[in-house]
């Protein structure tokens, strides 16, 4: 009975805290590696797909990258993707979330010979001034 109770506690904590590290950026960014961040007035956090994204070789899939801005954060944020599998590219190649926008759509395009497997992709947001912010999501590439 005790093991069952502890199992439920662990599951509850994972669902509350989440598994998606999110680092805030901007001039007021202070927290690191936490999914639950109180956004400072002049900082931002990025939101990425919460569930694993699956794409097949030769396929294109659109994802949305969102931003939560502190009340005083008015900067444009340029996005960069790290750890994309070989043969998968993001289009546009240099997406940005403009100061008045809340999100941007990005197409992930897998080549016919894209690397197959599970990957942890990092999205880095670079504001026009201040510290970079980042978030990660899981991407699975399947065979055709």
Is the pLDDT confidence value at 4 over 50? no
Backbone angles phi, psi at 17, to 5 degrees: -80, -40
Backbone angles phi, psi at 60, to 5 degrees: -120, 135
Q: Can the peptide bond before residue 92 be classed as cis, meaning omega within 30 degrees of 0?
A: yes
Question: Are 131 and 111 within 8 A, CB to CB?
Answer: no
Dump pLDDT digits (tens) for 74-128: 999 999 999 999 999 999 999 999 999 999 999 999 999 999 999 999 999 999 9
pTM to 2 decimal places: 0.75
Domain extent listing, the chain: 20-142
- Average pLDDT over all residues of the chain: 82
Instruction: Tell me the C-alpha distance between 79 and 20, whole Å.
Output: 18
Fold observed for domain 20-142: Immunoglobulin-like (2.60.40)
């Amino acid at each position: 009975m005790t093991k069952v109770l502890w199992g439920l506690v662990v599951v509850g904590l994972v669902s509350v805290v989440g598994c998606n590290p999110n680092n805030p950026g901007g001039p007021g960014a202070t927290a690191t590696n936490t999914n639950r961040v109180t956004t400072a007035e002049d900082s931002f956090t990025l939101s990425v797909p919460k569930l694993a994204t699956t794409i097949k070789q030769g396929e294109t899939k659109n994802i949305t990258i969102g931003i939560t801005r502190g009340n005083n954060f008015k900067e444009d944020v340029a996005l960069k993707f790290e750890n994309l599998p070989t043969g998968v590219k993001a289009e546009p190649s240099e997406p940005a979330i403009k100061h008045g926008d809340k999100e941007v759509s990005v197409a992930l395009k897998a080549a016919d010979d894209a690397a197959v497997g599970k990957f942890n992709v990092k999205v880095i947001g670079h504001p026009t001034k201040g510290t970079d912010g980042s978030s990660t999501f899981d991407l699975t590439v399947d065979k055709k």
